[in-house]
Amino acid sequence: AGQEVQTENVTVAEGGVAEITCRLHQYDGSIVVIQNPARQTLFFNGTRALKDERFQLEEFSPRRVRIRLSDARLEDEGGYFCQLYTEDTHHQIATLTVLVAPENPVVEVREQAVEGGEVELNCLVPRSRPAAVLRWYRDRKELKGMSSGQENGKVWSVASTVRFRVDRKDDGGIVICEAQNQALPSGHSKQTQYVLDVQYSPTARIHASQAVVREGDTLVLTCAVTGNPRPNQIRWNRGNESLPERAEAVGETLTLPGLVSADNGTYTCEASNKHGHARALYVLVVYDPGAVVEAQTSVPYAIVGGILALLVFLIICVLVGMVWCSVRQKGSYLTHEASGLDEQGEAREAFLNGSDGHKRKEEFFI
């Protein structure tokens, strides 16, 4: 029976560690040589032949020869020869495959996104082996992109493009480009997050430091402005009149100290960017504390007067009803038995001369 050598193919990620093993059967101490893909001798029996410190002899025994390669590179890829020199030379080749994991994708935008329009994003992985698979995600939902690849020697350059419509609410949203291939551990990927920059016209709204303003108070108006790009200048004015001399306008804030009724009016703040213009209004009414107190004290008298008038009206209605009822009860009322009055002329004669067939005639006065 002849001597035999057995090897196994090895796959390693670039920069990783690979172990190349030669299994020996019925080894009798003959010479064992391990060569790299360029047919350069790495080890002659247990002795280093090639000065490459990345290769280390891990084991040399009658049953197995094992070498270790650290920091694997693409140029290390190929067939490693394990040869046993006897009367009949035996050799086997262990194929080393080096994979290249994708780096973090590079995401770029083609042109500035504006509300109501479309944005186009490009994702690029310049180097991977095998070619990386690119996917897009937005709000945890996958977007459909168009991918293309180009082989450059032993590695691939892969790109993907995605387009979608945007609105102002999308500003600050996150879109993810994910790259995967076999060089990465199972379940792992390389991702790059892109923060959407959507430009839109400004909006403005005025907030007052207090709801009710009285003479002598200090009022602070704040103009809350949104927009992309953010308006860098805010203008304050008061209708067709100029601002009070005491007013202090600093950016988004307008301060009105020592208010008087002459400060009444409609105050506006205005902001603009290259996409539009915004304006907000605030109507200022300064109350006189003395007038407020007088109005509050006059309310009870008005209520009392109304109640008294209602009582007098009710009393008059009761008196009119009583008089009407008393007048209605007076008068003469004749019974049916006095029907002979029309023939006799008077009630008494009708009573005395009534026919025998009639009942007793009676007359009542109320």
User: In this structure, are residues 59 and 68 in contact, taking their beta carbons and an 8 Å threshold?
Assistant: no
For residue 1, name the pLDDT band (cuts at 50, 70, 90).
very low
d(C-alpha 159, C-alpha 183), whole Å? 18
Class of domain 106-198 (CATH, top level): mainly beta
Continuous segment of H or E residues that includes residue 192: strand 190-195
Would you state the pLDDT for residue 312? 82
Would you state the pLDDT for residue 363? 63
d(C-alpha 291, C-alpha 105), whole Å? 71
d(C-alpha 229, C-alpha 295), whole Å? 50
pTM for this entry: 0.68
pLDDT in tens, 64-119: 999 999 999 999 999 999 998 877 778 899 999 999 999 999 999 999 999 999 99
Residue whose structure tokens are 């025994």: 61
- Residue 121 burial (CB < 10 Å; 0-12/13-18/19+)? buried
Would you state the pLDDT for residue 29? 83
Which of 80-89, 134-143, 218-227, 259-268 has the weakest average pLDDT?
Answer: 80-89
User: In this structure, are residues 205 and 267 in contact, taking their beta carbons and an 8 Å threshold?
Assistant: no
pLDDT in tens, 167-213: 999 999 999 999 999 999 999 999 999 999 999 999 999 999 999 99
Would you state the pLDDT for residue 300? 63
For residue 16, name the pLDDT band (cuts at 50, 70, 90).
very high
Class of domain 201-284 (CATH, top level): mainly beta
HSE-CB of 122 using CA atoms within 13 angstroms: 10
pLDDT in tens, 337-364: 544 445 445 555 544 555 455 455 566 6
46 closest CA partner among 26, 65, 74: 65
> Are domains 8-99 and 106-198 of this chain identical in fold?
yes
Would you state the pLDDT for residue 353? 53
For residue 262, name the pLDDT band (cuts at 50, 70, 90).
very high
Q: For residue 258, what are its two tokens?
A: 């020592």
Three-class secondary structure of residue 187 per DSSP: coil
- Average pLDDT value for the chain: 87
Rounded average pLDDT over 26-51:
90
The residues spanned by each domain of the chain are 8-99, 106-198, 201-284
Would you state the pLDDT for residue 216? 93
Would you state the pLDDT for residue 172? 95
User: In this structure, are residues 99 and 11 in contact, taking their beta carbons and an 8 Å threshold?
Assistant: yes
d(C-alpha 158, C-alpha 140), whole Å? 23
Would you state the pLDDT for residue 175? 97
Percent of the chain with pLDDT over 70: 84
Domain spanning 8-99: CATH 2.60.40.10:
yes
